[in-house]
Structure 1
């Protein structure tokens, strides 16, 4: 049975806007009606493209019929914009990270509670078919007790393809805060909360040369944050995970983005930056491949410009948050989860600076698994099956 349709606005019409706008039609609860940006010319172009109202930020927040707002601004603005959304009496869903400091993250959760509104945050890829399949295997005890594992993200940066790579190499970003949320959120959803971390970090270059087309082409980006980090993460369950992220590598041989090793089996988990993919379970009986392409949110639906077709369901976390608001339950991609993940990421950065363990003060319950029946309720009956590049 169809649930409530919520009128949704977006603040921030930059790089990730298109994915949220195009994919909004996939989800039963989402009715995208308006957008805003500090550059109103951009907002007006996006509004015309998608049949939305282009509004100034204050006007969007004042619209009584808009009940939920997605925050797609730059990370440095996340906390302030999300706080304004909540104080306007609207539910808030923000791109990652939730904030850049724990002070801001804690305040956002307090403001949400005070105003009786829900706050959620990307990433929501852990709700996709692949990572929910991994969750089922862990919950069923197929791995036994997970004792160790690894997670790797390695590339050579984005200055060769991104039109504005500057923020990625500044304090408040780097691979830990940019890509780390995907990996740490997936691991917390699988293994539970973290107890402590220890890390080391470095950067290969003091400057990066921009070769991507755009206004920044042929300019130089100063690097003011570590671009390679190695961490050992101890979970409260006792699991120990090696986490490695880098914008400095020319290539690598880590074909499995996440590996979990338990007393009964090992599990190879696909890239947490995506919703789908195949898993491999290895136990005493041999090797078993697990395809998730037929699951509700693992189905291949999005053609990349390079030609590959992937599973892309950005906005799934928001759809779940809206269902949670309607049914009086906790959202899966909740503010509490993203706060815990942020503390872990900041602890990795701090540990590398002080050369010591950093304890994690917050905790969080693992989000409830998203079964196929519940997933189907979040998908619109007339959802497009594919999206061309």
Structure 2
């Protein structure tokens, strides 16, 4: 059994690491014993702010100094760092989203960790927050009756409105589906079960203009779809729609809405751990906030998943935000992109059915 406190090393000392460090510092279960970044100055500044010993990236993945590695580096580096941590036999590894840029690579990470006996966890951990736990209890207790349909909607003006360097959010594999989609898909996966993709449409508004910071006014080209609509179903046949867009001017559409035979549920933004969960009894059209579930945590923030992973490491159990879930989400996202017609193939005249559990699919399509 691993001793308490669990020694945690952070790799990647950027913006999201600040939130992780704050959450982890408040827990008596873990202790931040190392941090590293490709930029030594950034690592020194981060380590100084949070009183964490600084080491170089080549030395941090060492079971002699850490029990749990937290990888918060840019997405394209996750796959290699995860495999490196597994090969080094760090007992537990946590990754920010995504595990890898392709479903095949994500599945490889899961398989390698399982073969090596390494506990693997991955973002998002917002499904551990009080808002999601309250919604989950309402669904599972039958508060809304039998689920009939679900809708997930991300309508945003795009990160260029407030981010000084938004280009990476529009790189191939990113866009609204790759960047924010995992929060919505992970929530649907846990609330309603495995999802299957039936059809999708995508559009790319390629010219973008940076709206803030020193590069304001600069134009760049989006490499990923900027608006995606997908039709999915659950294993029980519940129709589910997902819209993910960086092309919206404004919206009042709920982030996630679930309709049942006894009532309806509206969830707050799944990118965050907190927020009101609204319930309307069938036919009343009156929305009222649900009382937080008794099992909902009192403290919430990014890093909750790491604490849960540390608990699993100590107890010898499976983590709540397992790497396998992240791999499923990666496969669903890939299925959605594959289902959307490509510009060189024209528009589909019928649905393209794909299985989210695999990246090898058989399709029937026609062009016009």
TM-score normalised by length of structure 2: 0.89
- Listed as ranges, the gaps of 5+ residues in structure 1 are 300-311, 363-389
Q: SS of the counterpart of 2:240? A: strand
Q: Who is 2:355 aligned against? A: 359
Q: Would the alpha carbon gap of residues 145 and 295 (structure 1) be closer, same or farther in structure 2, given more than 3 Å must change?
A: closer
- Is the CA contact (8 Å cut-off) linking 2:197 and 2:230 kept in structure 1? no
Q: Who is 2:236 aligned against? A: 237
How far off is 1:296 after superposition?
5.2
**CA–CA distance in 2 between the matches of 1:241 and 1:201?**
17
How far off is 1:246 after superposition?
0.7
- Is the CA contact (8 Å cut-off) linking 2:63 and 2:89 kept in structure 1? no
- Is the CA contact (8 Å cut-off) linking 2:79 and 2:100 kept in structure 1? yes
How far off is 1:219 after superposition?
2.8
Q: SS of the counterpart of 1:130? A: helix
Return 175-184 or 105-114, whichever deviates more: 105-114
- Is the CA contact (8 Å cut-off) linking 1:130 and 1:298 kept in structure 2? no
Moved over 4 A (4+): 293-296
Return 32-41 or 178-187, whichever deviates more: 32-41
Q: Would the alpha carbon gap of residues 7 and 146 (structure 1) be closer, same or farther in structure 2, given more than 3 Å must change?
A: same
Return 101-110 or 178-187, whichever deviates more: 101-110
Alignment of 1:208-219 (within 5 A): 208-214=208-214, 216-219=215-218
- Is the CA contact (8 Å cut-off) linking 1:276 and 1:298 kept in structure 2? no
Q: Who is 1:378 aligned against? A: none
Q: Who is 1:282 aligned against? A: 280
Q: Who is 1:333 aligned against? A: 321
Return 84-93 or 345-354, whichever deviates more: 345-354
How far off is 1:5 after superposition?
1.4
Q: Who is 1:258 aligned against? A: 256
Please give the per-residue CA displacement for 1:285-315, whole angstroms capped at 9, x wherever unaligned: 844421439975366xxxxxxxxxxxx5111
- Is the CA contact (8 Å cut-off) linking 1:76 and 1:172 kept in structure 2? no
Alignment of 1:313-324 (within 5 A): 313-324=301-312
Alignment of 1:18-33 (within 5 A): 18-33=18-33
How far off is 1:138 after superposition?
1.1
Q: SS of the counterpart of 1:159? A: helix
Q: SS of the counterpart of 2:41? A: helix
- Is the CA contact (8 Å cut-off) linking 2:137 and 2:293 kept in structure 1? no
Q: SS of the counterpart of 1:274? A: coil
Please give the per-residue CA displacement for 1:54-89, whole angstroms capped at 9, x wherever unaligned: 211111113512111111111111111111111111
- Listed as ranges, the gaps of 5+ residues in structure 2 are 343-347, 359-368
Q: SS of the counterpart of 2:297? A: coil
**CA–CA distance in 2 between the matches of 1:212 and 1:118?**
41
Q: Who is 1:379 aligned against? A: none
**CA–CA distance in 2 between the matches of 1:295 and 1:21?**
24
- Is the CA contact (8 Å cut-off) linking 1:277 and 1:293 kept in structure 2? no
- Is the CA contact (8 Å cut-off) linking 2:133 and 2:293 kept in structure 1? no
Q: Who is 1:247 aligned against? A: 246
- Is the CA contact (8 Å cut-off) linking 1:28 and 1:319 kept in structure 2? no
Q: SS of the counterpart of 2:59? A: helix
- Is the CA contact (8 Å cut-off) linking 2:228 and 2:245 kept in structure 1? yes
How far off is 1:114 after superposition?
2.1
How far off is 1:220 after superposition?
2.4
TM-score normalised by length of structure 1: 0.84
Return 232-241 or 216-225, whichever deviates more: 216-225
Instruction: Name the count of aligned residue pairs.
Output: 345
Tell whether 2:23 aligns with 1:35. no
Q: SS of the counterpart of 1:353? A: coil
Q: Who is 1:377 aligned against? A: none
Alignment of 1:156-305 (within 5 A): 156-204=157-205, 206-214=206-214, 216-254=215-253, 256-284=254-282, 286=284, 287=286, 288-292=288-292, 297=297
Q: Who is 2:47 aligned against? A: 47
Q: Would the alpha carbon gap of residues 252 and 295 (structure 1) be closer, same or farther in structure 2, given more than 3 Å must change?
A: same
Question: Aligned-residue CA RMSD in angstroms?
Answer: 1.9
